[in-house]
Structure 1
């Protein structure tokens, strides 16, 4: 693996580690990281050792992986690149929100900082990407809404959809078909039947039942939630 390939691999690792804990507190384990990256556990173990030696992660045998301050700074920079590019592709080139992830994975390693800053300015310095994920500012700061995953919200919880995970494009397509979108006001309702999923009442009064996989991909925040600042 040459220097460029190694650098790209490091960035990909750090980005996945960061994203795992962005919306929940539990740190990622090596086995979870291997699944997310689609790699053999032995390959992940070796790379994690290299990341730890470089001061980018903190990891001890049989424990979870945590980013160091240096690792988080690098991860946030890559997340900013990825999400700005996704937003650019949707707004300027009419990509669907279920199509942009893989394109951004390629482009994020090719664009210069100058071009990235120009894209940011052209888009009007957006604060979130098409899926609701927060786009860090150039200095690394970001404001994330205090949200809860839909399938973990109690019945009667009222709020707005602030994030729809882009991990599974099929889920995004289902959300589209159901007519749900970011900033939609919803109320969590009971769903009849074991394993039926989660019911949500929309502003107009209609109730739609979401399958567990779909409900687990949506985050909602109370109407008066105050964004939390990171870094």
Structure 2
């Protein structure tokens, strides 16, 4: 049996690997989990002893196939719970992350199956993040890039939005920027502010930190991400 904390580490390593590739540095895990490097080093040693990660001195850790399977299972629980909370319990997309974090370690496989069935097997959560399949196959890269990587006149579709900051999610919901929203980049200020135009022709100026949390694909190539976030306050 793995502790909740161990599962959190595996999930976090998987998410960092997905963004940046392995190996994952101790400092990256420490920053993501708000732990000290010494605490992370100790836990990585425990996970290595259990065959869930491999480590290379001075470089970092990488999930083993077994560790990746555990991480995908926790991610599936988390994102299904987020979708269920938004669709059936009227939670906003800014509220579901913390609730799912508290529940993800404690649901049975039967409960997971029934939640997926009640939701008609969704492929994304309210933030546009992909939900691992029931067979826990590795997630494919959707090739989305941060909004900050785009230039004036680019037309893009929001693919997913980071779920880590509740205030940012509430701000974006009020602005009408959710997965599936088409945006046109109107201006990129030298000091980092990104101004976009939504489908309603409303303009929104986004701080760089917010724009970095929005992942998009070219509008000509992208289909809406499923619109799950629309069931919340968006």
TM-score range, shorter chain: 0.7 to 0.9
Q: 2:133 & 2:9 partners in 1: Cα distance?
A: 21
Give CA-to-partner distance per residue, 1:125-156, whole Å, 9 cap, x none. Answer: 00000000000110123455221111112333
* Residue of structure 2 equivalent to 1:101: 97
1:69–1:154 distance in 2 versus 1, CA, 3 Å: farther
Residue 115 (structure 2) pairs with residue 119 (structure 1): yes
Unaligned runs of 5+ residues in structure 1 are 227-231
1:190–1:64 distance in 2 versus 1, CA, 3 Å: farther
Deviation, 1:204, is: 3.5
1:157–1:65 distance in 2 versus 1, CA, 3 Å: farther
Greater relative contact order structure (CA < 8 Å, 6+ sep) = 2
| 1:190 aligned counterpart, secondary structure | strand
TM-score (norm 2): 0.87
Of 67, 75, 79 in structure 1, the residue corresponding to residue 71 of structure 2 is 75
Give CA-to-partner distance per residue, 1:72-110, whole Å, 9 cap, x none. Answer: 111111100000011111111111111111111121111
Unaligned runs of 5+ residues in structure 2 are 224-234
* Residue of structure 2 equivalent to 1:135: 131
* Residue of structure 2 equivalent to 1:210: 206
Deviation, 1:180, is: 1.3
Deviation, 1:182, is: 1.3
Whether the aligned pair in 1 keeps the contact of 2:76 and 2:132 (CA below 8 Å) is yes
1:56–1:175 distance in 2 versus 1, CA, 3 Å: same
Deviation, 1:31, is: 1.4
| 2:159 aligned counterpart, secondary structure | strand
Whether the aligned pair in 2 keeps the contact of 1:98 and 1:166 (CA below 8 Å) is yes
TM-score (norm 1): 0.88
Of 149, 153, 173 in structure 1, the residue corresponding to residue 150 of structure 2 is 153
| CA-atom RMSD in angstroms | 1.9
